[in-house]
Amino acid sequence: MLDVKLLRNQFDEVKEKLAQRNEDISALDTFSDLDEKRRQTIQEVEELKSRRNKVSQEISQMKRDKKDASSVIEEMQQVSTEIKKLDDQLREVDEELNHLLLRIPNIPHESAPIGADEEDNEEIRKWGDIRSFSFEKKAHWDLATDLDILDFERASKVTGSRFVFYKGLGARLERALINFMMDLHEDKHGYTEVMPPYMVNRDSMTGTGQLPKFEEDAFKIREEDYFLIPTAEVPVTNMHRDEIMPIENLPTAYTAYSACFRSEAGSAGRDTRGLIRQHQFNKVELVRFVKPEDSYEQLELLTSQAEKVLQLLELPYRVLNMCTGDLGFTAAKKYDIEVWIPSNETYREISSCSNFESFQARRANIRFKRDKKAKAEYVHTLNGSGLAIGRTVAAILENYQQEDGTIEIPEVLRPYMGGKDTISK
């Protein structure tokens, strides 16, 4: 959510910046009228309430003095009726304004390149050497099916499309990656481990920005107003919803493993094979609550910590600075980390590291105080995948495949794989 005061005082500048996004912001034009009407109504109704409070005191005094107050009471009846009417109006305007504000995306940071879509994302660095194969390389779903470590067919029988069974060393690899990443972030990068609920309520989904605009992307629990989490970002960020965090706790850094659930509405037919796009996948997430003045420095740190995982796994990747048209709804700045997927002969997103500035904090009401007397300010929130596990498995299978169809296990994972160095039949 944007700062109403900013919107009020610098409407044209804000609108101009929002126009750099690839989104329809025409609804914004009603803002000024709504804001004006709201403030006017508040003034009217508060004046009446002030009067009512004053006269109520007088009535109570008259009652105590055993004087007749009936004429004043009669007058106040009318005032109260008027108050009720104005309160209703105010509620309506508030609702409209809120509806509008919750659907306005974040303002892009000036360092985000201006552009329309993914074509305009800026590659800022590359790491690792892309392997050239001396034999016919295979896609990860073929490798995995041959090795009997992934079973897509049975998963679609048991559930449906875009689900998978991991089996044997496949399941072990997935679990090894989770533990390896969690250990790295906890022991080397100083994060506190969190295991969150996999379902959250509507307020939480609104707090991090998945709602109200993107409800069709989430799985909804039928009997409750709960949603399956699309990422651990939602429960972990909302841990501190409606809180004032002690300044000495900033930055607060959490890492959380969770399963993630996405309806993938609108991506029918894309990445139908393999692990790239599933309705349920595992992810290790990094979340940081920081002071506003630190947030861009913290974004670099967070991104480097996600990159570290790929470096240790020795998987080639590149980092993109996402352009204004491809930032998504909530981010002011976002780096995507893309890992090399040989079968695609391209890089594919494996992590997304974002600075939301105060956009989520304002929605979720997460604040801090510089000292006891100071006014509460909104924190800045950041998060990033560190990393998406399924896509990491895909990258490992493809990048570490050998001519005989077996998979060499990256060295850092071997302690987590019972000392094995190869996945074979």
Partner RNA sequence: GGAGAAGUACCCAAGUGGCUGAAGGGGCGCCCCUGCUAAGGGUGUAGGUCGCGUGAGCGGCGCGAGGGUUCAAAUCCCUCCUUCUCCGCCA
Q: Which residues are tagged catalytic? A: 262, 277, 349, 352, 391
Give the tokens for residue 276. Answer: 């790239």
What's 65's DSSP letter?
T
**52 near RNA, rule: CB under 7 A:** yes
Planar angle of CA 171, 173, 176, nearest 5 degrees: 110
Characterize the bridge pairing of strands 280-290 and 192-194.
Answer: unpaired
Q: Cis omega (within 30 of 0) on the bond before 251?
A: yes
**Stretches 46-54, 163-171, 182-190, 314-322: which one binds RNA (CB under 7 A)?**
46-54
x/- track of binding to RNA for residues 60-89 (CB under 7 A): x--xx--------x--xx-xx--xx---x-
Using CB under 7 A, pick the residue from 10, 30, 32, 43 that binds RNA: 43
Question: Smallest distance from the beta carbon of 242 to RNA, in angstroms?
Answer: 10
Among 130, 376, 403, 421, binds RNA (CB under 7 A): 376
Which residue lies nearer to RNA by CB, 50 or 111? Answer: 50
CA neighbor of 347 nearest in space, from 357, 356, 355, 338: 338
Residue 151 to residue 158: CA distance in whole angstroms? 11
Cβ of residue 240: shortest distance to RNA, in angstroms?
A: 15
Residues that contact RNA, how many (by CB under 7 A): 32
Asked if 33 interacts with RNA (CB under 7 A), we say no
Q: What is the 3-state secondary structure (H, E, C) of 371-407?
A: CCCCCCEECEEEEEEEEEHHHHHHHHHHHCECCCCCE
- Look-up: residue for tokens 């495949």? 401
The HSE-up count of residue 298 (CA atoms within 13 Å, CB side) is 24
> Which C-beta is closer to RNA: that of 76 or that of 417?
76
Q: Which of 13, 29, 30, 39 binds RNA (CB under 7 A)?
A: 39
Q: Which of residues 133-172 bind RNA (CB under 7 A)?
A: none
* Phi and psi at residue 33, to the nearest 5°: -65, -45
Q: Is residue 202 a contact residue for RNA (CB under 7 A)? A: no
| Cα separations in angstroms, 199 against 124, 216, 260, 280, 281 | 36, 16, 10, 13, 15
The residue (of 240 and 333) whose beta carbon lies closer to RNA is 240
Region near RNA per CB under 7 A, out of 40-48, 137-145, 152-160, 263-271: 40-48
The CB-of-168 to RNA minimum distance in angstroms stands at 24
42 binds RNA (CB under 7 A): yes
CA distance 188 to 305: 9
Nearer to RNA by C-beta: 34 or 412? Answer: 34
- Is 56 an interacting residue with respect to RNA (CB under 7 A)? yes
Contact 34, 94 (CB under 8 A): no
Contact status, residue 149 vs residue 156, Cβ threshold 8 Å: no
Task: Decide if 355 contacts 332 (C-beta within 8 A).
Answer: yes
**In the bound complex, what is the minimum distance in angstroms from residue 321's beta carbon to RNA?**
33
Q: Which of 25, 34, 55, 194 binds RNA (CB under 7 A)?
A: 55
Tokens of 324: 């204004």
What minimum distance in Å lies between the beta carbon of 164 and RNA? 25
Q: Which residues bind RNA (CB under 7 A)?
A: 4, 39, 42-43, 45-47, 49-50, 52-57, 59-60, 63-64, 73, 76-77, 79-80, 83-84, 88, 91, 367, 369, 375-376
